[in-house]
Amino acid sequence: MVELWRRLVWIGVIAAAAQPLAPPMAGAQQQTSPTALQSAPDPIPGDYVGLDGAQSMVLAAHPREGGGYALVFRATPGGVVYNIEAERVAAGAVEGAVDWRGGAGVMRVTARGPGVIMTWAPLNAQGEPDRAATQSFAFVRRGVELPGAPRQAPPRRGDKISPAAFLGGYEFWEPSAVEAGYEGLSDVDRDLLRLYPLVQTDVLWKMCGAPEGGEGLPEALRGQSVTCARISEAMEAGQASGRFAAFKAQTAAQRADALKAVECGHGMHRDAECSAAARRTQEIVLSLQSVAGALQALDP
């Protein structure tokens, strides 16, 4: 089921990117018959969270009084919030102009299955969408449980949590739940996470979107020589340059080693497997890799 979902998402990405993009025009709504639009529920309005390479992103789409849509987009936790006025250009598709990533462009949101595809096309010197620089991101409606997501409920502040549950679930939780989970780890477990700088960076990135006042974020930032603003800046730069995918892949490998270390401590694996994971962890420690270095690798 997971592979089927991903296949449908990427079909949607290709289809969305293949559609012509143009800056919104006053007459854009005339392209679709009003009768046809009223024959089915509007699939666009809703609150969405990003998938895969868009995991840090959130998007909300709601009808505006007088017509059109209000899109609210944020690329990274704690980052800039973009308010975009969009118009319907086809059934299940809206477009709006926005300045993002250092320049003007067009953002299209197209309904796909349980979510939407957001396609971003910067404008070239002639004011036309630059198809070579177009990027697409998959989102799912907030609250929809995808196949393969962990069944464990997100922790609440004050809950105690095992490192295995935290490592297996934090990617799927809201920032406030990630911070609550981090606070619920023991000091020993938090020290274990610090051995894996990419995992620590990923966790920090999630927690930076949590409301202020928690204890987990300041504790996790302690000694890292970074701020949430710096983390947000680096993650957005990595998404723009294409380096973000490599970061997530390397983070997944470190997360697997961290989980293996926890499970080996409970006698859940053969000695040979545990020895291999221990060697990889030792290599990470000896490499002197850090959160600051992980962010620097995302810079253009």
Residues of the chain within CATH 2.40.128.30 domain(s) are 2-141
What SS3 class is residue 41?
A: coil
Residue 22 has what pLDDT? 42
113-142 average pLDDT score = 86
Q: Say yes or no to pLDDT of 85 above 70.
A: yes
Query: Model confidence over 161-175: pLDDT tens digits?
Result: 988 889 988 888 888
Residue 3 has what pLDDT? 36
Judge contact between 260 and 277, C-beta under 8 A: yes
Q: Say yes or no to pLDDT of 101 above 90.
A: no
pLDDT band at residue 231 using 50, 70 and 90 as cut-offs: very high
Comparison of pLDDT for 231 and 148, the residue scoring more: 231
Comparison of pLDDT for 46 and 21, the residue scoring more: 46
291-299 average pLDDT score = 91
Share of the chain above pLDDT 70, in %: 82
Detail the DSSP E strand segments found in the chain.
46-50, 58-63, 69-74, 81-90, 93-100, 103-112, 115-122, 135-141
Distance CA(29)–CA(87), nearest Å, equals: 7
Judge contact between 92 and 110, C-beta under 8 A: yes
The CA distances from residue 246 to 6, 184, 198, in Å, are: 18, 29, 11
Please give the CATH number for the structural domain made up of 2-141. Answer: 2.40.128.30
216-244 average pLDDT score = 89
Least confident span in 17-21, 37-41, 108-112, 189-193: 17-21
Residue 181 has what pLDDT? 94
Give one DSSP letter per residue of 75-101, joined into a string: SSTTS-EEEEEEEEEETTEEEEEEEET
CA-wise closest residue to 228 among 252, 201, 251? 201
Please give the single-letter amino acid code of residue 152. Q
pTM for the model stands at 0.60
Q: How far is CA 236 from the centre of its chain?
A: 10
Comparison of pLDDT for 270 and 23, the residue scoring more: 270
**According to the per-residue pLDDT averaged within each range, which of 63-67, 144-148, 220-224 is highest?**
220-224
pLDDT band at residue 178 using 50, 70 and 90 as cut-offs: very high
Residue 261 has what pLDDT? 84
Comparison of pLDDT for 285 and 82, the residue scoring more: 82
